[in-house]
Amino acid sequence: MGMKISESLVTFLISLLSYGALFYLNDWLTSSMAFGLGVNWIYLPAGLRLFLTLVFALPGAIGIAVASFLICWFGNFPHDLITCLGVGLISGFAPYMARIFVVANVRLAADLGDLNFPKLILCILIYAAVSSGLHQWWYQVRGLNDAGTLNHFIVMFIGDILGTILLIAVIKYGLDLLKKTRALAL
């Protein structure tokens, strides 16, 4: 029992810290591509959200939710507790809901042992649709200016897809480079 709690705490902290760090890196790299409040044409943290919830499940979702709440609370969003709680919950649990849907309906093993390229693309599309839809719905419900429209949904959907694909490509390139470096060292 103690091992499970400490493992969950570690995965929670990894999710919280890595998501927060990548959010601010993405903000620095792509600030000129912002479309509106919480919407960017390329959103690298979308790929990390998907990865963390696929691999860490609930502790990953909770870590993302807490990080997103803090980012919202201390960032450009209105300083409103309910709005920021909603943004945090959607950020963490939209990919978790997509994970549950994918595992149940796409014949994806819970341990991801059978994850292949077509299933990954389907995961990305489902996640981006759920996340973008829930975020824009919440922005509309909360009456945020420059948010919550069909155009914002489309841009967020595209940004989540592009960010996820770009993050996966960078990780793959890094792993390939690591393999080459190790092979040269031997």
Burial of 54 (0-12, 13-18, 19+ CB in 10 A): buried
40 DSSP β-pair partners: 34
- The answer to whether 163 and 46 are in contact (CB under 8 A) is yes
Q: Which two tokens stand for residue 139?
A: 């922005």
User: What pLDDT does 3 receive?
Assistant: 52
pLDDT band at 2, cuts 50/70/90? low
Higher pLDDT, 130 or 184: 130
User: What pLDDT does 4 receive?
Assistant: 77
- The answer to whether 63 and 22 are in contact (CB under 8 A) is no
Higher pLDDT, 185 or 8: 8
Mean residue pLDDT across the chain: 90
**pLDDT tens column, 154-181:** 999 999 999 999 998 888 888 888 888 8
User: What pLDDT does 67 receive?
Assistant: 98
DSSP 41: S
Gap between the Cα atoms of 47 and 57, Å rounded: 14
Q: Which two tokens stand for residue 40?
A: 């960017």
User: What pLDDT does 99 receive?
Assistant: 87
The yes-or-no verdict on residue 150 having pLDDT over 90 is yes
Higher pLDDT, 121 or 3: 121
pTM of the model: 0.88
> CATH classification of 2-185, choosing from 1.20.120, 1.10.1760, 2.60.60, 1.25.10?
1.10.1760
Q: Which two tokens stand for residue 138?
A: 């919440």
**pLDDT tens column, 93-144:** 999 998 888 888 888 777 778 888 888 899 899 999 999 999 999 999 999 8
Gap between the Cα atoms of 30 and 44, Å rounded: 9
The domain segmentation of the chain, as residue ranges, is: 2-185
User: What pLDDT does 96 receive?
Assistant: 93
The yes-or-no verdict on residue 17 having pLDDT over 60 is yes
- The answer to whether 36 and 152 are in contact (CB under 8 A) is yes
Gap between the Cα atoms of 31 and 125, Å rounded: 24
Residue with tokens 């995961």: 123
Higher pLDDT, 185 or 121: 121
User: What pLDDT does 166 receive?
Assistant: 93
Gap between the Cα atoms of 155 and 36, Å rounded: 9
For residue 56, the surrounding DSSP H or E stretch is helix 45-56
